[in-house]
Chain A
Amino acid sequence: MKKLAKILLISTAIWLPQVAAARNVTFDLTVKSYTGPGAYVVVYITRPDNNLHSTIWLNSKEEKYLPALRGWHRHALRQGVRIDGFSGASLGAGKSVKFNVNIPDSLIDTGYKIQVDAAAEDQGMAPKDVNIPLSSKNVKTTGKRGFITAFSMKM
């Protein structure tokens, strides 16, 4: 059996390139309140052809939990991803997280999308809970499946 680890090693660099023309984007997200262990969340960018462009935030490095991030994992299996460089801490129920990413101008307003998958034990999976165009407008939204209760993107 090929393990994901192997795929990771041969990964086609899906790492945000350091380009001059980029914008610093601030993301802020909150997961729903429930009783139980913390949630795993991934934030990623998809291309106009719906393939994965890059993974910008992921809070699990444990392979066994990654399949629960169903939409992202579908891409990860097919294309390979790099997950070192992300934190391994789950996000407690009801908790928020805020982070900044430099996103190249070429991805903005050109058909790329921001997607968020989330999952937690006994709480089910919420693939593509957030699925919005990567636009230059500031966005405030909630997850369609209700796992991400608040999501904002500011440039």
Chain B
Amino acid sequence: MLRQLHSIPGLFAAFFVFILALSGAVMSIQPALDKLDAKNSNQMSIAKMASLAAKTHAGIELISQSANGTLVVQYFNDDGAGKDIFDPQTGQSFKPQQASAIFGFFKQLHRTFYVGTTGRVVAGIIAFIMLLACFSGLFMLAKRLGGWRHLFSTSRGKKIPRLHVDVSRIIIIGLFITSLTGSYMSLAKFEIIDDGKGSFLAFPENILGTDPTPVGQLPALQNIALEDLRELRFPFPDDPFDVFTLITANGQGYIDQATGEMLVFEPNTLSRNVFEFFYMLHTGQGLWWLGILLGLSALGIPIMSVTGVIIWWRRQKTSTRITTNVAADKAEIVILVGSETNVTWGFAQHLQQKLAKTHIVAMNAFKPTTYKNAKKIIFITSTYGDGAAPESASRFLQKLDKSNKIPNFEYAVLGFGDKQFTQYSKFANDVDAALTAKGWQSFLPLELVDRQSSQAFEAWGHKLAKKLDLQLELNHIVSQPKIFDLTLNNIEDHNHDDEFFTRIMQFSLPTNMPKFAAGDLLAIIPPQTNIARYYSLATSSADGILGICVSKQQGGLCSPYLHGLKVGDQAQAYIQPNENFRPNKTQSPIIMIGAGTGIAPFIGFIANNNSKRDMHLYWGGRHPQSDALYQKPLAEHLASNHLTSLNIAHSRTENGQYVQQKLTQDADKIQKLMAQNAQIIVCGGRAMADQVKQTLADMGIDIDALKLDKRYIEDVY
């Protein structure tokens, strides 16, 4: 719902918003430029200033002051009509006042799109839509980032949604002001809201019509500060019954040109003051710095429009159509889907197509009483942001709460998530817990799939097949990237006891390969299968080579294949970006913790440490003779200060220890580094990573808080 409220008006408005934003940004400079022409008036009175201006300008008709303090005199004499900017201290003009054609052009574009009243209506509607998008966006932002408290925490996820979020956080206040005031001004323009401009003073009747007094001596003008002046209109010279019209910040009045008395003065109404305040906020007239800030915010809008459209488009593209869906009451298996970006739908759909007599539906459409022939019910759900329900499951838990009958079918839950988030697949856990609490029977324990891993999905499919007693090969890949043929050009094998094999491999870099950084993943596709296995890259594109480190898994599919390759052989692969697994861009220290082949990305991080920030590597291997990985480069990096300290734990030696024990020994040092805002990067097996986490937590390090700050990142397999 929130998403529809955000994206549908957003898409509709994107084009117009683009124009409003760019024209608005151009005009935002105007108050600041105008301000440059404002001369210091040293708290003089209107009378003094007007008298000076009248002396130097024959046929003076009007003096006006812009909200930014620029004074303009308008006159008409034998030389014709003129309009000049002048200095109140001397009354002298210093440049003609000319309406800028550029600002004029953009102002008209901004207000009407050059289609008159229709355009004005559109501009008003767009302003209102932007206001809605600000509100709905703000709520989505809070939801995505895990609550209002985290509104300013680091955003995670893919590049484009992240850009959308990051830009929105910078510009939302400006956007809110602009769209609120813009909506208001549009309503005022169409007289739906009173702007207080409609009424003006009736002409006074008791005018003497005797000889006029020079403007400098008019008593009514003596005591009004120049800064309050908006406009002073002089009477027509040939009309003794005409009056001075004075408009100030506070109201307007008429002054008798003979007596110089204020004949009548009407203060501004509240609606007038409100209008002026909103006008100032919207245009920056009288608040030039705000104008500039709002203009800069407006420049973010094209980014928001483009990224917004891309996000919407991607979601459309990944939304798969369900072709053969068995009716709910006839199906033997029901798949319920909780999906935010439709990626999860893709997986669920894939499963549905491989199963017979299966009904698939969004979790929000949950209706257990209609599943009359169901034997099994499978929940496949992602988690939104930090633990929230994804869109298509947002009402599921409520619905479940209301259903009290324990069904005779059994359930299983498969959760999709991202370990980068503190609440890894929390919603799937919640669903599982809620079902258990309701007394439902599970036929397969909860399983979690990290970052759309095809392997994990395939493995879960095998377990499911066993329970359902059928054959099931799940091979769903989210999107097929461009695959490259890589040539192996260097091998370094490490093995000692013929039991454990590790291989450092380098492939030559194809010229058209997309850019990558150390820590990104090289997805290798072994022959006769279409499921890639991921290996952390130890190099970046700049190194001109693709380096990975592979340990041989007995009975594995990909690692034995890689271990069987010879120099000159080819392998099929593509790059899987892993943007959340990179050293942050500060100069704070980095603590890298890993075991086994988990060292690979660290080698790349260290090699790229050209700024020589503090980098500490904690690494666990088996035995100095068995897996002394990257020994030579590490020694070089230490010597060149790319690496500050190297701490190796060996598990298969006498008094062997694990990497987490090394950490415990170094607790003081680690505490000190954390006090310097150090970032912790973990890479390696799940068991090791869990141990490390426990060890750090025991030291009093709040890992969840660090994760929110991207100061604790991991790549775990």
Chain A interface residues toward B at CB < 8 A? 1-4, 6-7, 34-37, 50, 63-64, 67, 70-71, 74, 77-78, 122-127, 144-146
Contacts and interface: CB of A to CB of B under 8 A. Distances in A.
Top-7 shortest CB links A-B: A2-B202, A35-B104, A77-B203, A122-B99, A145-B81, A64-B197, A36-B104
Given A125-B62, A126-B81, A145-B76, A35 B202 contact: no
Interface of B: 61-62, 74, 76, 80-81, 83, 99, 101-102, 104-105, 107-108, 111-112, 195, 197-203, 233, 236, 238-239, 241-242, 266
Contacts of A125: 61-62, 74
Given A34-B99, A36-B108, A123-B99, A71 B236 contact: yes
A35 B200 contact: no
Contacts of A63: 198-200
B203 A36 contact: no
Contacts of A127: 61, 236
Contacts of B199: 1, 3-4, 63
Contacts of A2: 201-202
B120 to A, nearest CB: 10
Given A1-B266, A77-B202, A124-B74, A35 B236 contact: no
Contacts of B198: 3, 63-64
A124 B98 CA distance: 10
B279 to A, nearest CB: 13
Given A63-B198, A70-B233, A74-B242, A34 B104 contact: yes
A34 B233 CA distance: 24
Nearest to B104: A35
B80 A146 contact: yes
B666 to A, nearest CB: 70
Given A145-B80, A145-B81, A4 B200 contact: yes
Given A2-B202, A77-B203, A146 B81 contact: yes
A85 B306 CA distance: 49
A63 B104 CA distance: 23
A1 B202 contact: yes
Contacts of A34: 99, 101, 104
Contact of A74 (B62, B101, B236): B236
B68 to A, nearest CB: 14
A70 B74 CA distance: 13
Contacts of A126: 81
A142 to B, nearest CB: 12
A146 B242 CA distance: 24
B108 A35 contact: yes
A63 B81 CA distance: 26
Contacts of A50: 238-239
A124 B72 CA distance: 11
A133 B473 CA distance: 98
Interface of B is mostly: mixed
A155 B74 CA distance: 36
Given A74-B239, A125-B62, A37 B200 contact: no
A122 B108 CA distance: 12
Nearest to B81: A145
A112 B81 CA distance: 25
Given A2-B202, A3-B199, A63-B199, A37 B108 contact: yes
Given A50-B239, A74-B242, A67 B200 contact: yes
Contacts of B203: 77-78
Contacts of A35: 99, 101-102, 104-105, 108
Contacts of A71: 236
B24 to A, nearest CB: 17
Given A6-B202, A122-B99, A145-B76, 8 more contacts: A1-B201, A1-B202, A2-B202, A35-B108, A64-B198, A74-B242, A124-B74, A127-B61
Scoring A77, A126, A145 by chain B CB atoms within 10 A of each residue's CB, the highest score goes to A77
Contacts of B102: 35
Contacts of B76: 144-145
Nearest to B200: A67
Nearest to B117: A89
Given A36-B99, A37-B108, A74-B242, A124 B202 contact: no
A22 B483 CA distance: 90
A123 B81 CA distance: 12
A50 B238 CA distance: 10
A151 B199 CA distance: 32
Contacts of B108: 35-37
A125 to B, nearest CB: 7
Contacts of A6: 202
B233 A122 contact: no
A2 B205 CA distance: 13
Contacts of A70: 233
B230 to A, nearest CB: 13
B83 A124 contact: yes
A71 B236 CA distance: 8
A146 to B, nearest CB: 7
Contacts of B202: 1-4, 6-7, 77
A50 B62 CA distance: 22
Contacts of B241: 78
Contacts of A124: 74, 81, 83
13 contacts: A3-B202, A4-B200, A34-B101, A35-B99, A35-B105, A35-B108, A37-B111, A37-B112, A74-B236, A122-B104, A124-B81, A124-B83, A145-B80
A28 to B, nearest CB: 22
Nearest to B247: A67
Contacts of A74: 236, 239, 242
A22 B179 CA distance: 55
Nearest to A147: B81
A67 to B, nearest CB: 6
Chain B CB within 10 Å, residue with most, of A36, A123, A127: A36
Contacts of A37: 108, 111-112
A11 to B, nearest CB: 13
Contacts of B238: 50
A6 B81 CA distance: 34
A98 B713 CA distance: 75
Contacts of A36: 99, 104, 107-108
A125 B107 CA distance: 19
A14 B201 CA distance: 21
B43 to A, nearest CB: 28
Nearest to A36: B104
A96 B714 CA distance: 72
Contacts of B242: 74
A2 B204 CA distance: 11
A35 B201 CA distance: 31
